[in-house]
Chains A and B, each alone.
Chain A
Amino acid sequence: MTEQEAGHAPLPVGEDEFRLIADSAPVAVWVTRLDRQRSFVNRAYVEFFGGSYEDALTFDWRAIIHPDDIARLLQASVDGEASLKTFSLEGRFRRADGAWRWLQSTSQPRWNAAGEHIGFIGVAHDVTEAKEAELALREREAQLSAFISQTTAGFAQVDLDGTFTLVNDRFCEIAGWSREQLLRRTMQSITHPDDLGRNVPMFERAVREGVPYTHEKRYIREDGGIVWVNNSVAVIRRPEGKPFGVLAVTLDVTQRRESENALRRSEESLRLATESAGMASWELDLETMEGKWSANRFDLLGLVRRDDLRGTVEDWLDRIVVEDREMAREAAYRCFEQGEPYTIEYRIRRADTGEERALQSHGSRIDYDDGRPSRFVGVSFDITERQRAEEELRDSEARFRTIFEQANDYLITLTLDQRIASVNPAVVSALGYTEAEVLGRPVSDFMDPDQFAISLGALQQKLIRGGSTRLTIKVRAKDRRELVWEINSRLTTDAEGNPTGIHAIARDMTEAKRAETHLRLLIDELNHRVKNTLAIVQGIAQQSLKGDRDAATSRRAFEGRLAALSEAHNLLTREHWGLVSMTQIISDAVRPHGGSARFTLDGPDLVIMPKTAISLALAIHELATNAVKHGALSEPQGKVTIRWARMRGEGAPRLSLVWEESGGPAVQPPERRGFGTRMIERGLAAELAGSVTIDFRPQGVVCTVDAPLPEGAE
């Protein structure tokens, strides 16, 4: 405060009058002289200072200046006084109550009538409230500025016509226009025409009624590109309440919109695809638990199609048979609540026909990245036929499996390159391998090369002509045994008829072949024997019937020999043409001629070969016939003793057999030697490979046989 000497200065009015006016003023007033002494202060001044009027005139005003302001104020005061012009100061002063108050002062020089400078008159008023308001505003402005210049959200202010009046950098970036361009345009001019129809009424209503709104729309950028924005819009009003503009906080949501669109598009195409594939689809808003069904979903459940095509979870669950319902509900709700996708099979009862059908459903939850409420989508389709077919297939497979496992026949499948794809247990046990040892191996491992060639030939034939082949092949078991298999095989084909493999059924013919071979041998042998026997019969007949004997004698001789031959054959047949008992063959041969009554047999029970047995039987027959006719047995008391023994000398054991007649008439040596004698002396000797002699002694015929013991006679 500049002070001036009172009395030197003319007042515009009388002093008392001035004092009255000054005291009633709400501002502090003071008058100074040239010596800077205050000559007058008003009431307000004294009240601020807080002392007496006299003290108020004399105290040092610099003592109550705020330390932060003192340097500035003193400098401005010196400069102002020196200028001899009106000057202003602003700063904080301590009031009588101790509070710092902002005071704004204006000082103006005083001149006397002569025009000489006589001092200053000053006025100060308290501007603390205004100053604080200004500071607060400045602070808010700084905050707002920081807010507006941040990079996430764009800010745009437009006037009531929509012309941009303020935009931040981020808004320019989002909208794709420079600040200068925007400030010359309206928001309508950069909004996509398709969105204006919705946007303009909301804008107008906001201006008219002050209703804020949030909406999404597209801006067209300078480069022609499209940007999706989410604008939160509020009206700005003047203090008196009149709107003067609209502020929009703008977020770029293009990416979200695009992903949503993509999702929508893919959902749409999925829906079309699934429906054309007989799949029904449904969506569910997980906030409202209600959603849209595809038309065929109603059909699938036998429900009437609703006009709005909407349905609920419960509509669906109601159709599911009781036994499956809780399972389906749990799967669905687990998906809704935990996002766990599901695939379930269940049965429904159609609402219209009551028919039970099997369905399969897949459901999954779609979760948006930005945390918006998720949605559920699901597809269902009828699998009744498929299940039925599967069941039939399973049954049929099981049937075939049983046949496969239990068949005695060998069931084998091969790949086209002749490798074993599967075998049944019969194959494994026949070959002596384990299944693992067989699978994947080429069939050539199980047969000799010549046999494999036959197999390959059959395959070629099937490949060229189709059909099946039947062949007999020798296969090799693990122990190298040869097995004869009769194999029926045919090609397996795919749906187009292309060959995919070979299916073979084989049967073991090893035993059958062996039996057949054996039978063949038996028949050959039988034929041989029959022919031989016929040859013998022919020989006997020829011998019996030749010469000059009468027919009856000849016939009896023939019959006798034939009977002896037949008897020997009986024995041989009984013994299956094996070794026969010597005792037996001799006793059989003598039985027609008196048997044990006339014959004494004495010898060990040796066994002899069948052929030898026939010769022996015929020889005994001849001797006996002769004895009956001419020898010992022609007399009632005549006897024959047959002795045989195994002789052991220095060489191989020998057979000694002696036929000795006794008690008969005196023997005359025959005039000529007939068949009988020849048969015995030559035939039997040859047969036995020994010597046979007949001695016609007068007291009785003696026939002596000396031969190596016939083979098998041990």
Chain B
Amino acid sequence: MTVLTGLRVLVVEDEPVVAMYLEDILDELGCITIGPANRLSEGLALAEGPLDAAILDINLAGERSNAIAELLRARGVPFAFASGYGNAPEGFGAPMIEKPYRTADIGRALNTLLGE
């Protein structure tokens, strides 16, 4: 188990309650939440900053978060998708965290992303 303490994790999630919950989970894991961003534009802006990992909700109030994923991939920042339903967008090779999620799901996903 990698130590996740101090990791800067971008959260892109349009549902406030869910975003807060994820924020709490990351807090519990010792990570620093960047965001949460609930719109594509906001997510894109935050993705430019210093990051260690990201968790992207696929559907952002009707927009898809692919653009953020592409930016992160270009920057080499590992990320996972999160969604209530469906498959991760193809071509990114990113893992998928299915809602509703538990603390352990997030921890495992982050460990995977950081290539323990």
Question: Interface on A for B, CB 8 Å cutoff?
Answer: 524, 527-532, 534-540, 542-543, 546, 609, 611, 615, 618, 675, 678-679, 682-684, 686-687, 689
Contact B39 A684 (CB under 8 A): no
A residues within 8 A CB of B38?
Answer: 686-687, 689
Contact B85 A536 (CB under 8 A): no
Min CB–CB distance A713 → chain B (angstroms): 14
Known: A611-B61, A687-B38. A535 touches B86 (CB 8 A): no
Contact B21 A683 (CB under 8 A): no
Contact B61 A543 (CB under 8 A): no
A residues within 8 A CB of B16?
Answer: 615, 618, 679, 682-684, 686-687
A residues within 8 A CB of B99?
Answer: 531-532, 534-535
B residues within 8 A CB of A535?
Answer: 15, 17-18, 21, 84, 99-101
Contact A524 B21 (CB under 8 A): no
B residues within 8 A CB of A686?
Answer: 16, 19, 36, 38-39
CA distance A618 to B7 in the complex (A): 31
Min CB–CB distance B77 → chain A (angstroms): 22
Contact B100 A528 (CB under 8 A): no
Residues facing A in B59-116 (CB within 8 A) are: 59, 61, 83-86, 98-101
Which listed residue (A531, A678, A687) contacts B98, Cβ 8 A? A531
CA distance A683 to B16 in the complex (A): 4
Contact A540 B100 (CB under 8 A): no
Known: A524-B85, A531-B85. A683 touches B39 (CB 8 A): no
20 A-B interface contacts by CB (under 8 A): A524-B86, A527-B84, A528-B59, A528-B83, A528-B86, A530-B84, A531-B85, A534-B84, A535-B15, A535-B84, A535-B100, A536-B15, A539-B20, A546-B24, A609-B61, A618-B17, A675-B20, A679-B20, A682-B20, A689-B39
Min CB–CB distance B17 → chain A (angstroms): 4
B residues within 8 A CB of A682?
Answer: 16, 20
Which listed residue (B19, B21, B98) contacts A538, Cβ 8 A? B21
CA distance A682 to B13 in the complex (A): 13
Q: Nearest 3 A-B pairs (CB), nearest first?
A: A683-B16, A531-B84, A539-B21
- Report the nearest A residue to B18, measured CB to CB: A535
CA distance A160 to B12 in the complex (A): 146
Known: A611-B61, A615-B16, A686-B36. A542 touches B24 (CB 8 A): yes
CA distance A262 to B74 in the complex (A): 106
A residues within 8 A CB of B100?
Answer: 531, 534-535, 537-538
CA distance A684 to B15 in the complex (A): 10
B residues within 8 A CB of A675?
Answer: 20
A residues within 8 A CB of B17?
Answer: 535-536, 539-540, 543, 618, 679, 683
